[in-house]
Every structure is written in structure tokens, then in C-alpha cells.
Structure 1
Amino acid sequence: MGDVIPSADPDSPICSAKGCRAPARWVLAWNNPKLHTPDRRKTWVACDEHREHLSSFLGMRGFLKDVVPLAEWEQGDDG
């Protein structure tokens, strides 16, 4: 991994990958069917570099439900 330049906006989400401080660009919606109801969605956020790795981690466990761009996810929160 190269040097990561922190986001200019301190309130913007950062990648959920351990040790990564890059700005998040993706939302990974998931749930653990042993713990959560089918409609419940937990979220991790990912930078471009870690999107595939985090998606694979959740997918191998059968937890991954959706991967959407962060901007699209935030628009969905508006209404």
C-alpha cells in the first residue's frame, strides 16, 4: 500500500479495513442471519483499494447483501 492522503473533510467516512485511513467510496451492506432479522442491514465502508477484499470477506460467510457507491447510499438517506 502506498501513502494515503487523509480526506479533506474530517467528517467524511474512512475505510473500514484495519489500519486504512483512506476516504470511503463504497458502502457494503450486510447482515449475519444468525444474529439479525432478514431486513436488518449493518454497514462497512470501503475505499477503492479495499472494496474487493472486504466484499470477499463478507461474501465467503454469506453475509454480504449489497455494495453501492457511498454517494448513492447517502442519497438514499435523504428520503
Structure 2
Amino acid sequence: MTAAQCSRAGCRADAAWQVVWRNPRIHGPERRKIWAACPEHVAFLREYLASRGFPVEVVAFDAADAS
């Protein structure tokens, strides 16, 4: 299995974190999206979503979740 890559535009580093979020204006609590994040970009991606008022949670990346 190939490692997941960071979701930050232009970054191809391996992901170490999952940034779990949703847009409450269009999705209920059961609908969540996951962005993969490398250690360098996890804070950027989290802040990007949080600044828009989206509920955000950061958890360690689990390769089993990517399958």
C-alpha cells in the first residue's frame, strides 16, 4: 500500500495526520471529510478550515483508515 500524501497544494510528503472536518452549512454531523497532512502543513490546513468556522479535529494518521 502506498502512503497517503499531504493534501496541501503542491506538497507530496507522506501524511502523518488526518484533518477531519465538515461544513455545517451543508452537511450534518454524520458527514465528515478527511484531509491528509504532513507534519509541516497540519497547522496550516487546520487553521484554514477553522478560520471558516468549520468544526475541525486533528488525529494521527492511521494507514488502515486510508484503505
Q: Report TM bin, short chain.
A: 0.7 to 0.9
Query: Which 4+ runs in 1 deviate beyond 4 A?
Result: none
Q: State the TM-score, normalized to the length of structure 1.
A: 0.74
Q: Flag the structure with more relative contact order, 1 or 2, with Cα contacts below 8 A and sequence separation at least 6.
A: 2
How many residue pairs match? The answer is 65
Structure 2, unpaired ranges of 5+: none
| Cα root mean square deviation, aligned | 1.7
Gaps of 5+ in 1: 1-8
The structure with the largest alpha-carbon Rg is 1
Where does residue 27 of structure 2 map in the other structure?
36
Once the two structures are aligned, what percentage of the paired residues are identical? Answer: 45
Q: Which deviations, in whole Å up to 9, do the C-alpha atoms of 1:41-61 show, x marking residues without a partner? A: 101010000000000000101
TM-score norm. by structure 2 comes to 0.85
